[in-house]
Structure 1
Amino acid sequence: MVSLQVKISSPSTDVKNYINLRTDDWLIGYNSLEFNKIYRCRFRELTEFINAQGVYPKVILAEPEPIAFLATFIAAVVAKCPVFLCNPNWVKAEWKQVFKIVQPDIIFGSLAESYPSYIQTNSVISTPGASIMIPTGGSSGNLRFVIHTWETLTASVQGFQEYFNIKQVNSFCTLPLYHVSGLMQFMRSFTTGGKLAIFPFKAVERGEFPNINPSEFFISLVPTQLQRLLNCSKTTRWLSQFQTVLLGGAPAWLELLQQARIHQIRLAPTYGMTETASQIATLKPDDFLTGNNSYGQVLPHAKIKVYDEDERELGVNKLGIIAIKANSLALGYYGLYNPEFPLKTLKSDDLGYLDERGYLTIVGRNSYKIITGGENVYPAEVEAAIRSTGLVGDVAVIGLADNHWGQVVTAVYVPHSPDVSISNLQIALHEKLSKFKQPKYWVAVESLPRNAQGKLNFKQLEKIAEKFIISS
């Protein structure tokens, strides 16, 4: 049994007050009374454990049903238990990582059928009290848990409210609740007195819509979801009715933004990450519709500065590394957290700049930068050029090691049709990219290794490309 050797503190706002205040039917598609029933049951289970064992158990939350997931999440927060949000559909290899990292005391969800509900452990790991651990795989695919608290999550909500000048936030959620992009939609609605509609994306894609007024709702999508909805006139018309369509999770390509603009979709591209409890910069829909392709301005709860590689702060329109301070910033990473030195500034891996109006533009990842023959190549620029040819359905550009050039530009792509050839692509790029930026290797695949949020697994991508080159 793990005894958490930290001071347990309550959230600044008593979460139970939200439970008591939410007597309305705020969960669209689900029974709000059922939410309260599950909450009370799970809270009782947790408090009985605490009273019997004298410790705050580490809780794995892997509930597949949204109502049970959210009610259990709130119960764990109110009971001041460290809770680890998990994907119920992770496979054995991923669960092996989770158990090694977490060493849980209690498991809620279908996973409990395969593993003991109580796992005895001997290690002592310090975490902040009532902490909320949100998973992130990054680009490597290796799982980590980002440490948040009720305070950091509600700071993000407050920044969102102030930025959009709105009191109640109604959210339409098609994204996973264990991911920060889904969880924050719940947090915005739950804590502001708004409504939350949870609906499977596949149903939406089929044209099955709940009985709501979209003009009263924010919907959050990743670029691949937006692309699929824009492929159908019925879903496009429905999407155009929303108050705001938040777009994040992965970079959107220019053609997709232009397509959304043509259909008058009130798009709001966002910049943020798990560590910042979702967005810290957002382009407002009115700016988007006038042709702005940036990530907009920084939300009031955050600050962004741009530095060069020697950590000197840069001025406006100067490309550099993005550094973030925010009230919503995570405390650190589970297993690496030092309570004496919590994370105060996040130096990201993103390259970008702020213009004279404070609008943020991101050009790509610093670590993804390809140096070929002494020239810098940014994958995002090459990917945008390839997409603009209209010959690919999806593409990712990486750098592979090369004895002569250092690295070579490599494109892994999904052709739009079987008759798309490499020569077609090379001819189409001739006037779009300098020669050193054009891919040396082209690897055609049926699909790219992306997760539910549209993020690429670069380890898998490199393996695919290297295997192709070796066999060719």
Structure 2
Amino acid sequence: MDADALADIRRLDAMVDHWADRKPDALALVFGDQKWTWRQFQQRGEKLAAALVAAGVRPGDRVASYDKNHVACLELTQAASRVGAVNTVVNFRLAPDEVAYVLEDAGATVLFVGHEFVEVWKQIADRINTVRKVVVVGGSPDEYEELLASAPAYEGVVDVQPDDAVNQLYTSGTTGFPKGAVLSHRALLAHTRACTELFQTCEGRVSLVAMPLFHVGGSSYSLIALYAGVPTVLVREAHPTYLLPAIEENGANQAFLVPALIGMLLAAGEPAIHALGKLEALAYGASPMPLPLLERCVQLLPTTVSLMQVYGLTEVSGVATSLADGDHRDPAVRHRLLSAGKANPGVEVRILDPGTSAPAEQGVSGEVQLRTEQVMTGYWNRAQATAEAIDSDGWFHTGDIGYLDEDGYLFIHDRLKDMIISGGENIYSSEVENAVAAHPSVADVSVIGIADEKWGEAVRAVVVPVPGQRIDAAEIIEFCRGRLAHYKCPKSIVVTEELPRNPSGKVLKNDLRKTFGQ
């Protein structure tokens, strides 16, 4: 890797240009049965940039990608960077009204829509006044390749500053409509450099991009391979059908996956476990991994797989802290498996008492706050929400509750709004969830607070049983009493077939409260 030249990069498209100049014929990208070299990937990005300009896209304009994972989205980020525009990646799992909201909120001028979602677009098209051009991606006929083929001559990049926006990703929206987090070149490059170092991404690595590109675990993670100059294998969906061939046939050996997907792969049997064992680096995050699943992962995967837990948010471009492989495999520090690790290079972490806003003492829980170049510029068109999230000293208020131990490891308990207060005692759902999840009849669990006349709130566990197992509520409560203080133990257990989750794997606790909170 040409470290000195890469250190001077100030815009995302320059990463592609760097490698297209130095190794034009080397493999850059694999998608299905298609492959592109660095020069070809660069040329496609240039053609798309020219097509955007011809469509009237100007610096600061939002262009949108509404599709499952497709090479067009990666190329759109590159092209947007070249013309000073902003790629807004829309969550394809949203309901039509939510898609309309995001497109209206962003003010998208050009829309790239996957052929599977054309009917949704037709339902909402008359509500979106800003979209001037729609390009159908994939299917028959595919308008995207035709757009590239007919693009005018590329006239070069426009003047783009490091603090200019380039990506706009919408928060998960676990409550209400999502907010658009505006991410700059500076923020994304700071994140990319730190993660390239953490993953030790270098020659010989092949990066598997499996998570949806509307999520930082897809879009921000995808930039690591572009920075390091190694091939990317992009898969359409995060499903074993796509993942196993990417590893076995295309040689992917570095990946970021959410815990639910890792659990699915481990449960799929020996072929899937064997494929995971071929990875050199496997990071996981976006939602907590239950301790029993994490321990199974450590047990089943060979030591040649470097495991890394990551914690972060859309608002900080992705990853802020990480737990290294050594902390996963050393029995002497087993307690660290419950932590989110240490601050990444360029990230500061502090804990503030939510009641007094004073720094919390070591080991005492409070709101987790982060300061880093990776922090978003702000929420799109939401000045008040931005001011509430980022203070005048540049600290981003995460809304998560946690503490730092004496060695600087961050332990996340809960979302501030999800903390349960019972009889004046703070109860963190993650602690209770780990205790319940250890019971052999429990496949999945989430904990909520319900109204209680005596204690104010009481703990309720919503559990999914292991197939073929019966849930005995009294047995599970007694099981927890051997592991937790009694006031933290569930007072009631309810059973469901599946927990509601957003696309990044986080449990939708508002939905749980509506269904099981009475």
Scaled by the length of structure 2, the TM-score of the pair is 0.79
Structure 1 residues 381 and 427: alpha-carbon distance in aligned structure 2, compared to 1, 3 A threshold: same
1:299 aligns with 2:303: no
Residue in structure 1 matched with residue 296 of structure 2 by the alignment: 259
Aligned partner letter, 2:97: A
1:201 aligns with 2:205: no
Aligned partner letter, 2:103: F
1:247 aligns with 2:297: no
Shift in Å at residue 418 of structure 1?
5.1
Where does structure 1 lack aligned partners over 5 or more consecutive residues?
A: 1-10, 123-127
Structure 1 residues 155 and 56: alpha-carbon distance in aligned structure 2, compared to 1, 3 A threshold: closer
Which stretch of structure 1 is more off in the superposition, 153-162 or 347-356? 347-356
Q: Distance in 2 between matches of 1:256 and 1:55?
A: 46
Residue in structure 2 matched with residue 42 of structure 1 by the alignment: 48
Pick from 285, 301, 323: which aligns with 2:369? 323
Aligned partner letter, 1:78: R
1:68 aligns with 2:68: no
Query: For residues 46-67 of structure 1, what are the alpha-carbon distances to aligned partners after superposition, in whole Å with 9 as ceiling and x for unaligned?
Result: 112348xx77532122133511
Shift in Å at residue 17 of structure 1?
5.7
Residue in structure 1 matched with residue 28 of structure 2 by the alignment: 26
Query: For residues 33-76 of structure 1, what are the alpha-carbon distances to aligned partners after superposition, in whole Å with 9 as ceiling and x for unaligned?
Result: 6745643342122112348xx77532122133511111122111
Residue in structure 2 matched with residue 444 of structure 1 by the alignment: 495
Residue in structure 2 matched with residue 229 of structure 1 by the alignment: 265
Q: Distance in 1 between matches of 2:346 and 2:59?
A: 34
Q: CA RMSD in A?
A: 2.9
Residue in structure 2 matched with residue 7 of structure 1 by the alignment: none
Structure 1 residues 64 and 261: alpha-carbon distance in aligned structure 2, compared to 1, 3 A threshold: closer
Identity of aligned residues (%): 23
1:275 aligns with 2:281: no
Contact preservation (8 Å) 1:266, 1:289: no
Q: Distance in 2 between matches of 1:36 and 1:64?
A: 22
Q: Secondary structure at the match of 1:358?
A: coil
Contact preservation (8 Å) 2:15, 2:226: no
Which stretch of structure 1 is more off in the superposition, 58-67 or 146-155? 58-67
Shift in Å at residue 153 of structure 1?
0.6
Structure 1 residues 190 and 337: alpha-carbon distance in aligned structure 2, compared to 1, 3 A threshold: farther
1:415 aligns with 2:465: yes
Shift in Å at residue 25 of structure 1?
1.5
Pick from 56, 69, 85: which aligns with 1:81? 85
Contact preservation (8 Å) 1:170, 1:196: yes
Structure 1 residues 282 and 312: alpha-carbon distance in aligned structure 2, compared to 1, 3 A threshold: same
Q: Distance in 1 between matches of 2:370 and 2:243?
A: 39
Q: Distance in 2 between matches of 1:338 and 1:403?
A: 36
Q: Secondary structure at the match of 1:32?
A: strand
Q: Distance in 2 between matches of 1:435 and 1:274?
A: 36
Shift in Å at residue 148 of structure 1?
0.3
Where does structure 2 lack aligned partners over 5 or more consecutive residues?
A: 1-8, 132-162
Residue in structure 2 matched with residue 132 of structure 1 by the alignment: 167
Residue in structure 2 matched with residue 458 of structure 1 by the alignment: 509
Shift in Å at residue 372 of structure 1?
1.4
Contact preservation (8 Å) 2:91, 2:99: no
Q: Distance in 1 between matches of 2:364 and 2:442?
A: 32
Contact preservation (8 Å) 1:319, 1:353: yes
Shift in Å at residue 459 of structure 1?
1.9
Counting matched residue pairs gives 448
Residue in structure 1 matched with residue 140 of structure 2 by the alignment: none
Q: Distance in 1 between matches of 2:12 and 2:271?
A: 43
Query: For residues 179-235 of structure 1, what are the alpha-carbon distances to aligned partners after superposition, in whole Å with 9 as ceiling and x for unaligned?
Result: 100112211111221221123432358854442445xx3211111111122222222
Shift in Å at residue 165 of structure 1?
5.0
Aligned partner letter, 1:251: P
Q: Secondary structure at the match of 1:26?
A: strand
Contact preservation (8 Å) 1:87, 1:178: yes
Q: Distance in 1 between matches of 2:81 and 2:472?
A: 54
